[in-house]
């Protein structure tokens, strides 16, 4: 079967790496450290995928402006104490390795900063699978389409030959804004019903389903 896509772009947190709970918990712990309003779990999870400063402004909208810089620092303190131990989702490595072996160009579009993504790629042993990456500090945060536009330009792939995979509504909107097909996964930060409202091509509940979908549809 001929390929439908040439480039497959993955979000990272909540899509490839099982980091949702640690990110949400780090946001909440940072707020407690600074006596700020602690967002509930749903709010803390909803902002995952945005650039960190933007995410914290959405999660803690009543914080004084002067508190966001120390809030970023406290978040990083809590997250970095745990990030080396965060696992990949079961089946993620095997699925991405299979796509790489099949000749797809692979990218990452993430709200992490560049240093954080590089640590994650290296600690997980996944760096060699990806041909290009974009982070929120390098360009505009999701759902602005810039990440996908830049990846497609760098890898010389058109929007019609590109697929996005992500776990949040930010990822689905990113793809939509770039004119790119998108598959959502329901094991990350945003609930399935929110993802389905945006009508992705498919909604996958684990990597075994996603791997089978790639084999048939990608």
Upper half-sphere CA count for residue 128 (Cβ side, 13 Å): 4
Is 11 known to be catalytic?
yes
Alpha-carbon distance of 135 to 95, in angstroms, equals 22
Please tell me which residue in 11, 83, 167, 171 is annotated as part of the active site: 11
Is 35 known to be catalytic?
no
Four-point Cα dihedral 3, 117, 128, 17, nearest 10: -70
Helix (H, G, I), strand (E, B) or coil at 62: coil
In the structure encoding, which two tokens stand for residue 196, read together? 């389905």
Alpha-carbon distance of 167 to 47, in angstroms, equals 12
Q: How many CB atoms lie within 10 A of CB 166?
A: 32
Please tell me which residue in 6, 13, 171, 181 is annotated as part of the active site: 13
Alpha-carbon distance of 122 to 84, in angstroms, equals 10
Give the catalytic positions in this structure. Answer: 11, 13
């Amino acid at each position: 079967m001929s390929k439908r896509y040439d480039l497959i772009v993955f979000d990272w947190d909540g899509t490839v790496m099982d980091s949702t709970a640690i990110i949400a918990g780090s946001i909440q712990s940072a707020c407690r450290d600074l006596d700020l309003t602690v967002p509930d779990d749903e709010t803390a999870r909803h902002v995952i995928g945005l650039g960190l400063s933007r995410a914290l402004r959405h999660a803690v909208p009543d914080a004084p402006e002067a508190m966001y810089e120390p809030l970023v620092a406290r978040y990083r303190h809590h997250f970095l104490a745990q990030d080396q131990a965060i696992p990949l989702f079961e089946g993620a490595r095997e699925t991405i390795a299979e796509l790489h072996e099949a000749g797809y160009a692979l990218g990452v579009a993430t709200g992490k900063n560049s240093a954080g993504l590089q640590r994650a790629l290296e600690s997980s042993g996944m760096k060699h699978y990806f041909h290009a990456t974009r982070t929120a500090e390098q360009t505009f945060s999701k759902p602005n389409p810039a990440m996908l536009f830049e990846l497609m330009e760098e890898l010389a792939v058109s929007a019609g030959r590109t697929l996005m995979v992500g776990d949040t509504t930010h990822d689905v909107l990113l793809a939509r804004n770039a004119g790119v097909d998108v598959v959502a996964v329901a094991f990350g930060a945003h609930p399935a019903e929110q993802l389905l409202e945006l009508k992705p091509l498919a909604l996958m509940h684990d990597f075994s389903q996603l791997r089978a979908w790639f084999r048939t549809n990608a």
